[in-house]
Amino acid sequence: MVREIEEVKNTTQRLESEIKELKDEAKNIATKDDIKQLLTKDKAKNIATKDDIKRLETIITGLGASLGVLSEDAFRQGVYEILKSEGVQVTKEILYNRTGEVYGDPSDVEYDLMVSDGQVLMVEITSAVKRGDLGILKKKREFYEKAKNRKINKIVLITPFIHDRYPEKLKAMALDMRIEIVNP
């Protein structure tokens, strides 16, 4: 299991590096110096307008979100294939939460579960985590345990980014809730 977690960390670091490269490239589009240079050369017709830049930002954001979802799915599938090859039972379950106790409204609740040596682990893979996500994970666990009459021993949350002013405090809070955060 330790080897698989290390592989997850390595893949997460690679994805984080690729995202950083894309962000760095986006920052170099139409800099102030470029505009000054164009103006001094009387090439004002080549300057991108604020609307042009806004459209480009929207496109880049959309691509980033799409790639993030695709990367998460590819990453999830890769991890599960590795674990299956090691004899870990990996399942995906969707339970309907009629009363809305998980998300506040009736909805499907998706679970990625691993069972090894009788221990049930709930796995969450996400591009970023914030404090509010911990409460939702706790509610997901409670709903599953009640609906299935089966205990989830631990939640493993895999993420490249902790969106919190005090990431170590968030990790400590998570551990108190039996949630282990795995990140680079």
Name 51's Cβ contacts closer than 8 Å, sequence gap at least 6. none
The position carrying tokens 């990625």 is: 112
At residue 57, the pLDDT reads 61
pTM of the model: 0.58
- Residue 170 is predicted with a pLDDT of 92
For position 83, what pLDDT does the model report?
66
**Helical spans, DSSP H, in the chain:** 2-27, 32-40, 50-85, 131-148, 167-176
**How confident is the model at residue 158, as a pLDDT?**
85
Answer whether 66's CB lies under 8 Å from 107's CB: no
Q: What is the pLDDT of residue 175?
A: 93
Q: What is the pLDDT along the chain (184 residues), one digit of tens a residue?
A: 666 666 667 777 776 777 777 666 666 665 666 656 655 655 555 555 666 666 666 655 555 555 555 556 666 677 677 667 767 788 889 999 999 999 999 999 999 888 888 888 898 888 788 899 999 999 999 999 999 999 999 999 988 888 888 899 999 999 999 999 988 7
In this predicted structure, what is the pLDDT of residue 21? 72
Provide the pLDDT for residue 145: 95
Task: Specify the 3-state DSSP secondary structure of 99.
Answer: coil
For residue 124, which of 152, 158, 96, 154 has the smallest C-alpha distance?
158
CB neighbourhood size of 88 (10 A): 17
